Amino acid sequence: MSRAALLVLADGRFPAGGHAHSGGAEAAVRAGRITGAASLEDFCRGRLHTSGLVSAALAAAAALGADPVALDAAADARTPSPALRVAARRLGRQLVRAARATWPCTELDALARQFPKGAHQPVVLGVAARAAGLGPEDAAYCSVYECVSGPASATVRLLSLDPFDATAALARLAPELDVVAHAAADAARRALADGVETLPAASAPLLEIGAEAHAAWPVRLFAS
Contacting residues toward another protein, per CB under 8 A: 24, 28, 31, 33-34, 39, 42-50, 53, 73-74, 76-83, 85, 176, 197, 200-209, 212-213, 215-216
Shortest distance, position 151 Cβ to another protein, whole Å: 8
Based on the number of CB atoms within 10 Å of its own CB, is 176 exposed (0-12), middle (13-18) or buried (19 or more)?
middle
Burial 84-119 (b: 16+ CB within 10 A, else e): bbbbbbbbbbbbbbbbbebbeeebbeebbeebeebb
Cα 88 to the chain's mean position, in Å?
A: 8
Q: Is 136 helix (H, G, I), strand (E, B) or coil?
A: helix
Nearer to another protein, 53 or 99 (CB): 53
Nearer to another protein, 98 or 209 (CB): 209
Torsion of CA 116, 92, 107, 111, to 10 degrees: -20
Shortest distance, position 40 Cβ to another protein, whole Å: 9
Shortest distance, position 70 Cβ to another protein, whole Å: 9
Shortest distance, position 179 Cβ to another protein, whole Å: 9
Shortest distance, position 223 Cβ to another protein, whole Å: 16
Nearer to another protein, 6 or 66 (CB): 66
Shortest distance, position 58 Cβ to another protein, whole Å: 12
Nearer to another protein, 20 or 209 (CB): 209
Shortest distance, position 92 Cβ to another protein, whole Å: 14
Cα 34 to the chain's mean position, in Å?
A: 20
Nearer to another protein, 165 or 212 (CB): 212
Please state, in angstroms and rounded to a whole number, the distance separating the CA atoms of residues 105 and 131. 6
Nearer to another protein, 9 or 88 (CB): 88
Distances from the Cα of 160 to the Cα of 93, 128, 165, angstroms: 30, 34, 11
Burial 61-73 (b: 16+ CB within 10 A, else e): bbbbebebebbbe
Based on the number of CB atoms within 10 Å of its own CB, is 7 exposed (0-12), middle (13-18) or buried (19 or more)?
exposed
Nearer to another protein, 50 or 149 (CB): 50
